[in-house]
């Protein structure tokens, strides 16, 4: 018997066969096999000649530090191999590196040990590239932030909360301070809250001529301690550190300058009162130190210019805001008495040029868009290189502009997100580009933007992705609460508009972050692909309060943190529930950290909208979180009691109707387990049923070993059963 197929049937059979040959994304693919991990570049540094760069390459025999040419694709020169270092010291591991001034020596960090989000300590070694010798800088104990002096004569570092330097000629270590003490005095490194919220980690700087070191001294004696239990032995270990919660006392911070030649230390004169010192910057003649101070409410920024010899101080720059001032990027130009500083004073983050009298010379960039990174200035041509959102808040492109504000050029205009690493002379840059559906592409570009050659195209990964049933992430805008919000949606690859699908929303929603960006994501995006293959539509929306769209959009949440963010997410869910292909009775939401706070708030305040919510490491009461972050948006609890109480999920537990999964790491130094514990107490008191899971010894990232595999399997099971 012969069977004849219609054209439609033939197409359907071919289409079905093609789909059947592909596979769906599994949790094991993401978190066990790391099947979707896209390579970028490994710790690239431009060399002083501007013609070459170095990269730490991973090989079968360990890491290799290799020199490459920006222009010549066939040039490579291995500076040192980890296997060679092990012949000199078998215990060494190649974890990080930096060069001295003439690039004849390499400072190598080994056995790095993370402390908090950014901080770490390690053993350090100095490798002489000519003599091929290895000298231990810290064989007895791990130290922090080792840094060559500009003249290559010394290496400064922090050891046991004291600032020290090692003389490379004599081999003698000098302790600059001696009063360092755990949970009391810190010299040259930051306390917990400065590290987390001001991104200040190494808290000392060599002067450009190498004659002096400016450093922070933190007195955290009166800051209250937080205690975490670490379960490793028969009796748990207690880890105690200073953590200032909202409304509580901070470290007392001062700036000192140490003169290497005279061995004298001077406390810098800051004539006005302040709460925080956000940054320090040396002038290029090494004679003056710019010290940024901020008041407690973070709405008054002052840059003090201090003569380090006379200790006379004057105000170089000042900025106030009705709400809060962002910490600026500041750069002193080397060839002229001018400096660059970023500010939102016109409503968007832009770059301004001033002279050293404090007089504004020029607003260099301007427009209803944000400068998101300042890469630096080629002073010979008077050209500033930067990244911005000019094309779209979901994209990042690379630009150049003259310091007089003219001759602006887009160097990388491709849709997606580009990040640049410029050569020392700004003649070349390494560009890393991706979009939501394309893994990272790494190229060498000229400073006119022209692509000179491709370094990495992740071709193997792209071919591997062809074996999976993948949906395309679609970007669009949704209008709610009289505001257009950026969003993306991921539908099942076999989406049928005549069917109804459950909706799963992913949220972060906090200041300083976006989840609606057009770039590649190694992990969560593929979890969402897995959920889409299970028949869920996944949606994410950047609510009011997120970055990329100017100060007014971001600061509209002032004194009511979480209120408008929650309202926006609920309104979006309500809108999507009216669409013909959405099952409005099956809407869920998931978030981590601030996103966990919002997913909790949405489930409670939007109890008639959301069926289920997953909250990972959420803040549940703003009184429990650190003061720099919380008070920036909320003022202190003493000044804004109502704002704190009305917008903390812990005070809305009686509204719970849906399914709630609460997850927290018990060694979370950032959002303390206290948030989960008190939320549990409140839910129990209100007689509300929920699901809760704790990860002992895991921090805010809840990772290590099989942890993420376990976590994402658990969350997936919850979604399938409860949504």
What pLDDT was estimated at residue 17?
Answer: 46
What pLDDT was estimated at residue 43?
Answer: 80
User: pLDDT tens for residues 372-392?
Assistant: 999 999 999 999 999 999 999
For residue 139, the SS3 value is coil
What pLDDT was estimated at residue 15?
Answer: 47
From residue 343, give the alpha-carbon distance in Å to each of 2, 66, 336, 353, 629. Answer: 76, 38, 21, 11, 19
Within 10 angstroms of residue 152's Cβ, the number of other Cβ atoms is: 16
The predicted model gives 288-311 an average pLDDT of 98
Tell me how far apart the alpha carbons of residues 39 and 611 are, in angstroms, rounded to a whole number: 38
Q: Which of 152, 44, 48, 55 is nearest to 100 (CA)?
A: 152
**Residue 4: pLDDT above 60?**
no
The predicted model gives 406-414 an average pLDDT of 97
Tell me how far apart the alpha carbons of residues 351 and 403 are, in angstroms, rounded to a whole number: 9
What pLDDT was estimated at residue 20?
Answer: 55
Q: Are strands 185-187 and 212-219 parallel, antiparallel or unpaired?
A: antiparallel
**Residue 108: pLDDT above 50?**
yes
**Residue 234: pLDDT above 50?**
yes
**DSSP secondary structure letter of residue 209:** T
**DSSP secondary structure letter of residue 515:** S
From residue 583, give the alpha-carbon distance in Å to each of 363, 472, 660. Answer: 51, 21, 19
**Residue 253: pLDDT above 60?**
yes
**Residue 629: pLDDT above 70?**
yes
For residue 477, the SS3 value is strand
The predicted model gives 543-556 an average pLDDT of 97
What pLDDT was estimated at residue 3?
Answer: 37
Residue 6: partners with Cβ closer than 8 Å, 6 or more residues away = none
The predicted model gives 190-194 an average pLDDT of 98
DSSP string, 518-569: SS--SSHHHHHHHHHHTT-EEEEE--TT-SSS-HHHHHTTTTSTTHHHHHHH
Tell me how far apart the alpha carbons of residues 156 and 167 are, in angstroms, rounded to a whole number: 9
The predicted model gives 409-424 an average pLDDT of 97
Tell me how far apart the alpha carbons of residues 15 and 6 are, in angstroms, rounded to a whole number: 14
Instruction: Answer with the residue of higher pLDDT: 642 or 20.
Output: 642
What pLDDT was estimated at residue 246?
Answer: 98
Residue 433: partners with Cβ closer than 8 Å, 6 or more residues away = 412, 414, 416, 417, 418, 419, 440, 441, 442, 443
**Residue 562: pLDDT above 50?**
yes
On average, the pLDDT of the chain sits at 95
Q: Which residues pair with 398 in a beta bridge?
A: 387, 412
**Residue 200: pLDDT above 90?**
yes
Tell me how far apart the alpha carbons of residues 689 and 316 are, in angstroms, rounded to a whole number: 58
What pLDDT was estimated at residue 228?
Answer: 94
User: pLDDT tens for residues 265-287?
Assistant: 999 999 999 999 999 999 999 99
The predicted model gives 215-236 an average pLDDT of 96
**Residue 530: pLDDT above 90?**
yes
Q: 467-476: b or e for each residue (b if 16 or more CB lie within 10 Å)?
A: ebbbbebebe
Contact yes or no for 387/397 (Cβ under 8 A)? yes
Q: Which of 506, 663, 650 is nearest to 587 (CA)?
A: 506
**Cα end-to-end distance, the chain, whole Å:** 48
Tell which phi-psi region holds residue 430, choosing left (phi > 0), alpha (psi between -120 and 50) or beta. beta
DSSP string, 329-346: PEEE-SSSSEEEEEE-TT
**Residue 11: pLDDT above 60?**
no
The predicted model gives 248-253 an average pLDDT of 98
Tell me how far apart the alpha carbons of residues 36 and 422 are, in angstroms, rounded to a whole number: 28
**Residue 378 φ/ψ, nearest 5 degrees:** -85, 100
Q: 283-287, long-range: CB within 8 Å, 24+ apart, which pairs?
A: 283/332, 283/356, 284/208, 284/332, 284/333, 284/334, 285/208, 286/207, 286/208, 286/209, 286/211, 286/212
What pLDDT was estimated at residue 711?
Answer: 98
Q: Which residues pair with 154 in a beta bridge?
A: 167
What pLDDT was estimated at residue 41?
Answer: 80
Q: Which burial class, exposed, middle or buried, applies to 106 when counting CB atoms under 10 A from its CB (0-12, 13-18, 19+)?
A: buried
What pLDDT was estimated at residue 139?
Answer: 75
> How sure is the predictor about 10, in pLDDT bands with cuts at 50, 70 and 90?
very low
User: pLDDT tens for residues 69-98?
Assistant: 999 999 999 999 999 999 999 999 999 999
Within 10 angstroms of residue 686's Cβ, the number of other Cβ atoms is: 12
User: pLDDT tens for residues 317-352?
Assistant: 999 999 999 999 999 999 889 999 999 999 999 999
């Amino acid at each position: 018997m012969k069977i004849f197929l219609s054209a439609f049937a033939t197409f359907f059979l071919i289409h079905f066969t093609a789909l059947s040959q592909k596979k769906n994304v599994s949790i094991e693919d993401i978190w066990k096999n790391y099947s979707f991990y896209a390579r970028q570049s490994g710790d690239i540094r431009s060399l002083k000649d501007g013609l070459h760069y170095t990269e730490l390459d991973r090989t079968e025999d360990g890491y290799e530090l290799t020199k490459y040419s920006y222009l010549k694709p066939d040039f490579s020169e291995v500076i040192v191999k980890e296997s060679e270092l092990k012949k000199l010291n078998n215990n060494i591991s190649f974890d990080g590196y930096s060069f001295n001034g003439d690039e004849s020596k390499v400072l190598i960090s080994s056995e790095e040990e993370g402390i908090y989000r950014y901080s770490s300590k390690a053993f350090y070694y100095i490798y002489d590239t000519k003599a091929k010798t290895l000298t231990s800088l810290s064989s007895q104990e791990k130290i922090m932030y080792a840094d060559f002096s500009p003249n290559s004569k010394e290496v400064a570092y922090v050891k046991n909360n004291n600032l020290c330097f090692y003389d490379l000629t004599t081999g003698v270590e000098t302790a600059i301070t001696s009063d360092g003490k755990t949970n009391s005095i810190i010299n040259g490194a930051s306390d917990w809250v400065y590290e987390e919220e001001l991104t200040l980690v190494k808290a000392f700087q060599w002067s450009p001529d190498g004659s002096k070191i400016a450093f922070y001294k933190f007195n955290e004696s009166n800051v209250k301690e937080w205690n975490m239990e670490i379960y490793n032995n028969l009796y748990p270990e207690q880890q105690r550190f200073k953590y200032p919660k909202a409304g509580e006392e901070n470290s007392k911070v001062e700036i000192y300058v140490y003169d290497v030649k005279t061995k004298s230390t001077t406390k810098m004169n800051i004539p006005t009162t302040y709460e925080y010192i956000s940054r320090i910057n040396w002038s290029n003649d090494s004679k003056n130190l710019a010290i940024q101070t901020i008041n407690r409410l973070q709405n008054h920024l002052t840059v003090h210019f201090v003569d380090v010899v006379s200790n006379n101080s004057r105000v170089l720059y000042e900025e106030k805001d009705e709400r809060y001032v962002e910490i600026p990027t500041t750069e002193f130009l080397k060839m002229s008495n001018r400096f660059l500083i970023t500010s939102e004073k016109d409503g968007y983050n832009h770059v301004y040029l001033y002279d050293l009298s404090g007089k504004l010379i020029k607003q260099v960039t301007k427009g209803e868009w944000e400068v998101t990174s300042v890469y630096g200035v080629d002073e010979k041509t008077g050209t500033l290189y930067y990244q911005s959102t000019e094309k779209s808040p979901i994209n990042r492109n690379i630009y150049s502009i003259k310091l007089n504000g003219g001759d602006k050029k887009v160097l990388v205009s491709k849709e997606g997100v580009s990040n640049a690493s410029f050569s020392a002379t700004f003649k070349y840059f390494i560009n890393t580009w991706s979009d939501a559906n394309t893994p990272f592409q790494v190229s060498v570009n000229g400073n006119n933007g022209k692509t000179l050659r491709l370094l990495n195209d992740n071709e193997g990964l792209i071919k591997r992705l062809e074996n999976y049933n993948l949906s395309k992430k679609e970007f669009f805008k949704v209008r709610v609460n009289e505001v257009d919000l950026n969003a993306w949606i991921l539908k099942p690859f076999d989406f049928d508009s005549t069917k109804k699908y459950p909706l799963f929303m992913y949220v972060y929603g906090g200041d300083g972050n976006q989840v609606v960006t057009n770039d590649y994501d190694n992990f969560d995006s593929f979890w969402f692909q897995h959920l889409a293959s299970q028949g869920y539509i996944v949606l994410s929306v950047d609510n009011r309060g997120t970055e990329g769209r100017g100060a007014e959009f971001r600061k509209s949440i002032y004194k009511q943190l979480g209120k408008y963010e929650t309202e926006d997410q609920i309104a979006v869910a309500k809108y999507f529930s009216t669409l013909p292909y959405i099952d409005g009775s099956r809407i869920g939401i998931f978030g981590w950290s601030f996103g966990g706070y919002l997913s909790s708030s949405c489930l409670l305040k939007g109890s008639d909208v959301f069926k289920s919510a997953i909250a990972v490491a959420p803040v549940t009461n703003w009184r429990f979180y650190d003061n720099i972050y919380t008070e920036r948006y909320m003022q202190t609890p003493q000044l804004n009691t109502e704002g704190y109480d009305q917008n903390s999920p812990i005070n809305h537990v009686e509204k719970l109707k849906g399914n709630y999964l609460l997850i927290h790491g018990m060694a979370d130094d950032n959002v303390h387990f206290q948030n989960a514990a008190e939320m549990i107490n409140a839910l129990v008191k209100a007689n509300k049923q929920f699901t809760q899971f704790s990860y002992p010894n895991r921090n805010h990232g809840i990772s290590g070993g099989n942890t993420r595999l376990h976590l994402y399997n658990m969350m997936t099971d919850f979604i399938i059963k409860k949504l």
